[in-house]
Chain A
Amino acid sequence: MSTIETKKVKFKVFRFNADEDYLPYYDEYDMDVTSEDVVLDVLNRIKWEHDGSFSYRRSCRHGICGACAIKVNGRSTLACKERMFDMVELFGEELTLDPLSQKRAIKDMIIDKGDFWEKHAAVTPYLVADIEEEPESENIVSPEDEHKLLDADLCIQCGACHYACPVVEINEEYFGPAAFAAAYRFSADVRDEDKERLKNVNKMGQGVWDCVKCFECAEVCPKEINPIEKITKLHQMAFQEGVAENNVAVRHAVGFKKSIQKRGVLDEGGLVLYSEGCGIVKHVPVALKMFKKGKIALPWNIPTSENMDEIKKLVKSSSTAKF
């Protein structure tokens, strides 16, 4: 039998009561944590042994309800799943506990998750299908078709990814990784007949084209759902289903193929011109600065890959998407 180890940890804990406090503050607690503890055990002990007014959400204690996500040293995590010792190993013996989003804090670890739910609702997170009430046979989904959903079904809506996403913080319209994973879940379902959802998540500002591809969501998800994988699929589906709009983001993606077909390597200036069209003028001031420093290759100096014939042939034979 393995023995239980203990470590001393200093916790800095975010405290705030929206009804009473003008500003948040941190309380410090020195506690022993054991190799058996998960983060939630520490939250419980703070409440039970130190301060009964300390507030946080939890219910299932089994990684199912999605209520207990918080941040440890800035990292989103599911409190009932994350092992304390792993956190100590990663960040050392001083740990800071914060709510998922400080600016949305209501009381201590509890936040107003309203924006998360609004965005979830906005992507039509259900099957839209005209199904007969009394069908003659079952609506069978083949294992291959089921497999296409990947693991998007496993989301517990904990919000860990949403509040780790840098774009959610900057752009209020942006749906966020969990909503996109949900959108993918239903748009990839063979029974679903809703094209509006795909159009909706492809709109600039709110949609997938505003994702910065930072992979924070893939990293934090306690269910290993990899939301950005679904975001990439939604991009691809927009082309497959013919809903991709002719905008700067779409032209940018398509422009890569055009450039590769021509030179193998990218013609950076050409790509910006193709993507932006007349919008290119706004890049002129920076481009001039760059030009002065020898950072812009003139058309006759843009390199071309060797064995271009191979690249041209492969682009022709291996293309699977149209715009």
Chain B
Amino acid sequence: MSKLKYALFTGCTAKQSTPEQYMSTMAVAKKLGIELVELVEASCCGASHLQDYDEFLSLVLNARNIAYAEKHGLTMVTICNTCQLNTAMTKHKLDNDPELKAKVNEKLAEVGLEYKGTSKITHFLYAIIDDIGLDKIKEMVVKPLSQFNIAPFYGCHNIRPSELANEGHKTPESPYRPTSLDDLIIACGGEAVDYEEKNKCCGFHVELQAPKTAAVLTGNAIAGAMDNNADMMVTPCPLCHLKLDTQAEHAGEAIGRELEMPVLHMQQMVGLALGCDPKELGLQHHVVDVNFV
């Protein structure tokens, strides 16, 4: 197999509030023999908020980001569910509307770029599952997470809208019964916890404008994992991670019970199983300590 190589769109949080997510992405890629070309020119995806304000601008900016991946001739890999949604949605819109694509390209031409539609866009979770394969991961595991009950938290934008989400990867995922993260937990040797909230929303996107809604949703998610005997949660989305890891106290107040749950990024879980050093995976950057590893 030739070496896997992707264009990495880090998104904004990996460089600020979730540095551990960037660290663990790099560490895991190294272990798996994946080469990542970081798209240092990329701008923010708009996080679906810029889209509420100025849709055309968000399309142009996302098309520019994708154009850089195309220049490298590589698949774009995202490490945030919301980045995945917004870049994939841009791609979907432009690939299906030649007139819109022409309008966007007219703008990109001003800076010497063109959106062609030649690069695939996929979240790192699915890149691992589709291109490396769960069997290979299983083979590579040196420190199986066999003593842990791990609760998968999928995050909305990797599974909904499902039609769009499933454009990016080989194995279709049902938004009602997603399996990718469960499968990855099992491949890493852990026990996958089944609970009602695993495919529900964490509330991140209304954190500022509707703090109560946001807190209740986060609270329900953590409580669901706790009630099903999870030792930790794992998520592929840094925004979910921020909610679950940094807001547990607020969330607990909102639903009237004490909550605390260590939460791993998907990359950290894989990294631990593959024998990476916890420091290298940035476990020291969590608000809720992950002190059992």
Contacts and interface: CB of A to CB of B under 8 A. Distances in A.
Interface in A267-311: 268, 272, 275-276, 286, 289-290, 293-297, 302-303, 305-307, 309-311
B287 A293 contact: yes
Interface in B41-58: 41-44, 46-57
A218 B175 CA distance: 11
B44 A310 contact: no
A265 B286 CA distance: 23
A235 interface: yes
Contacts of B64: 310-311, 314
B169 interface: no
B26 interface: no
Contacts of A213: 48, 156-157, 205
A318 B246 contact: no
A257 B50 contact: yes
B97 interface: no
A317 interface: yes
A249 interface: yes
Contact of A314 (B16, B61, B160, B213): B61
Interface in B29-80: 40-44, 46-57, 60-61, 64
Nearest to B176: A75
B110 interface: yes
A147 B44 CA distance: 31
A253 B41 contact: no
Interface in B134-165: 156-157, 160-162
A214 B156 contact: yes
Nearest to B200: A166
A211 interface: yes
Contact of A268 (B16, B46, B56): B16
Contacts of B108: 314
B17 A290 contact: yes
Interface string A242-281: 0000011100111011011000111010001001100000
Contacts of A142: none
B156 A215 contact: yes
Interface of B: 12-13, 15-19, 40-44, 46-57, 60-61, 64, 107-108, 110-111, 113, 156-157, 160-162, 174-177, 196, 200-201, 203-206, 208-210, 212-214, 216-217, 246-247, 249-250, 284-287
A91 interface: yes
A170 B217 contact: yes
A131 B50 CA distance: 37
A295 B19 contact: yes
B206 A90 contact: no
A272 B162 contact: no
Nearest to A268: B16
A256 B287 contact: no
A149 B57 CA distance: 22
A3 interface: no
Contact of A295 (B17, B53, B214): B17
Nearest to B103: A318
Given A210-B209, A256-B50, A314-B61, A219 B162 contact: yes
B38 to A, nearest CB: 10
Contacts of A249: 208-209
Nearest to B113: A310
B13 A211 contact: no
B213 A311 contact: no
Q: Which 6 pairs across A and B sit closest by C-beta, in order of nearness?
A: A215-B160, A235-B52, A249-B209, A214-B201, A310-B111, A321-B54
Contacts of B18: 295
A239 B174 CA distance: 35
A289 B110 contact: no
A214 B60 CA distance: 24
A295 B205 CA distance: 19
A293 B61 CA distance: 32
A297 B208 CA distance: 19
B43 A260 contact: yes
A204 interface: yes
A307 B110 CA distance: 13
Contacts of A256: 44, 46-47, 49-50, 53
B15 A303 contact: yes
A69 to B, nearest CB: 16
Contact of A294 (B51, B249, B285): B285
Nearest to A167: B213
A257 B209 contact: no
Contacts of A171: 210, 212-213
B110 A259 contact: no
A253 B57 contact: no
A193 B217 CA distance: 38
Contact of A311 (B61, B204, B247, B284): B61
Given A75-B176, A90-B176, A219-B162, A318 B51 contact: no
A321 B53 contact: yes
24 contacts: A166-B200, A166-B213, A171-B210, A171-B213, A209-B209, A218-B160, A219-B160, A235-B53, A236-B53, A248-B208, A249-B208, A252-B209, A259-B44, A260-B44, A264-B42, A266-B12, A266-B16, A289-B246, A297-B16, A305-B41, A314-B61, A315-B57, A318-B57, A320-B57
